[in-house]
Amino acid sequence: MLAAAQAPPAPTSGTGRNGAKAAPASTATINLPFIEPYDWPRVLRFFAGRATRGVETIEAGAYRRAIEWPDAHDYALAAGTLSVTRHPKKACLVATLDGDVARHANAIGKHLTRMFDLRADAPAIGAHLARDPWFAPLVDAAPGLRVPGAWSGFELVVRAIVGQQVSVKAASTIIGRIVQRAGTQLADHPHADTAWRFPTPAALAAADMDKIGMPGKRVAALQGFAREVASGALPLDDPRADRDELRAALLAMPGIGPWTVEYVAMRALRDPDAWPGTDLILMQSLAARDPSMAKAKELRARADAWRPYRAYAALHVWNEIADKAGGAKGG
């Protein structure tokens, strides 16, 4: 049994050397520490392959998007732009907030810590997985691999539903169409590649989805899910919410199956042991290593040895495929 991982310090704030420093122009920078190693290039590659056009982009070693954050003082949403890079020397990511969102640097820093999986103890996870001879070379190839999260659990579930039985590229194309129909274009936004806000749950639920590129049943599932989130019934972005209850609620919804639920558990609910075992690419890769793994019973038995880090096991397999293909594959 591995010892419990020692989490890095919480995101720093204030005016100290490592803190969030608000400037007169409504800008704040936050240092977000992590445990080395941290494979920033592969994290960016994962996000780049799944980026929603117009909403988020990867450029010059940075993740960037337009964001909003609840403002408790005036019961509105503070708006601005987020940019995240890796510090050139220190073991931390550096988040830059421009606009009214800079007032919420501390809260956003905690959110980004989850999104970029900064509390994971990569050496401990790698050592555990490497006990299986399959994973030793994968861990050696990418010792700092993380499970990339998402800015919004709602966005991630939308993508997961859209991505059912289609390629990563095809899902990205359809998501882009959805943003054009139901999202909001930002006037005078300084970055053209992040000048759209992702649709709100209410807007997506009411949008015209005719000829969007999805089967009718999947459209119905997508908009039914959006209505549930709009009602407040699914607190996907609340770290205090019970994972099992959210899993059960998602699985009970029409058009959402075990793969979608486990994929969301990996990236939005931050369950390190989530296991999307019915993923086609994952299954094919494992069966290619050992034909007996093509049988569900044998695969489950082998995967049990990877607990409590099966989400990272899945990422290692997807990463190996992406490395060979030179792009985003799986997930």
Regarding whether 247 and 214 lie in a shared domain, the answer is yes
State the SS3 of the chain: CCCCCCCCCCCCCCCCCCCCCCECCCEEEEEEECCCCCCHHHHHHHHHHHCCCCCEEEECCEEEEEEEEEECCCCEEEEEEEEEEECCCCCEEEEEEEEHHHHHHHHHHHHHHHHCCCCCCHHHHHHHHCCCCCCHHHHHHCCCCCCCCCCCHHHHHHHHHHCCCCCHHHHHHHHHHHHHHHCEECCCCCCHHHCEECCCHHHHHHCCCCCCCCCHHHHHHHHHHHHHHHCCCCCCCCCCCCHHHHHHHHHCCCCCCHHHHHHHHHHCCCCCCCCCCCCHHHHHHHHHHCHHHHCHHHHHHHHHCCCCCHHHHHHHHHHHHHHHHCCCCCC
User: Which residue among 224, 244, 267 closes a domain?
Assistant: 267
Domain span at 92: 9-119
Regarding whether 113 and 75 lie in a shared domain, the answer is yes
How far apart are alpha carbons 227 and 239 in whole angstroms?
Answer: 21
Residue 303 CA from chain centroid, whole number: 22
CATH at residue 72: 3.30.310.20
Residue 267 CA from chain centroid, whole number: 4
User: Which residue among 72, 102, 119 closes a domain?
Assistant: 119
Least confident of 14-18, 43-47, 223-227, 327-331: 14-18
pLDDT score recorded for residue 17: 32
Regarding whether 101 and 41 lie in a shared domain, the answer is yes
pLDDT score recorded for residue 18: 36
Regarding whether 102 and 42 lie in a shared domain, the answer is yes
Catalytic site residues?
A: 279
Q: 331 lies in a domain?
A: no
pLDDT tens across 87-123, in order?
Answer: 999 999 999 999 999 999 999 999 999 999 999 999 9
Domain tally for the chain?
Answer: 3
Regarding whether 84 and 186 lie in a shared domain, the answer is no
Q: 164 lies in a domain?
A: yes
Angle between helices 258-267 and 153-162 (to 10 degrees): 150
Mean pLDDT of the chain: 88
**Half-sphere CA count of 244, side-chain side, radius 13 A:** 0
Least confident of 19-28, 43-52, 92-101: 19-28
Regarding whether 27 and 101 lie in a shared domain, the answer is yes
Task: Tell me: pLDDT of 6 over 80.
Answer: no
CATH at residue 312: 1.10.1670.40
Place 7 in a pLDDT band, splitting at 50, 70 and 90: very low
Question: Using an 8 Å Cβ cutoff, are 66 and 55 in contact?
Answer: yes
Residue 126 CA from chain centroid, whole number: 20
Regarding whether 199 and 182 lie in a shared domain, the answer is yes
Regarding whether 240 and 211 lie in a shared domain, the answer is yes
Place 329 in a pLDDT band, splitting at 50, 70 and 90: low
Residue that the structure tokens 């990272």 belong to: 312
Q: 212 lies in a domain?
A: yes
Q: 4 lies in a domain?
A: no
pLDDT score recorded for residue 134: 86
Regarding whether 261 and 158 lie in a shared domain, the answer is yes
Regarding whether 242 and 106 lie in a shared domain, the answer is no
Amino acid at 287: A
Q: 1 lies in a domain?
A: no
Q: 248 lies in a domain?
A: yes
pLDDT tens across 142-187, in order?
Answer: 999 999 999 999 999 999 999 888 888 899 899 999 999 999 998 8
Regarding whether 241 and 174 lie in a shared domain, the answer is yes
Regarding whether 94 and 134 lie in a shared domain, the answer is no
Q: 61 lies in a domain?
A: yes
pLDDT score recorded for residue 154: 96
CATH at residue 191: 1.10.340.30
User: Which residue among 224, 245, 267 closes a domain?
Assistant: 267
How far apart are alpha carbons 76 and 112 in whole angstroms?
Answer: 21
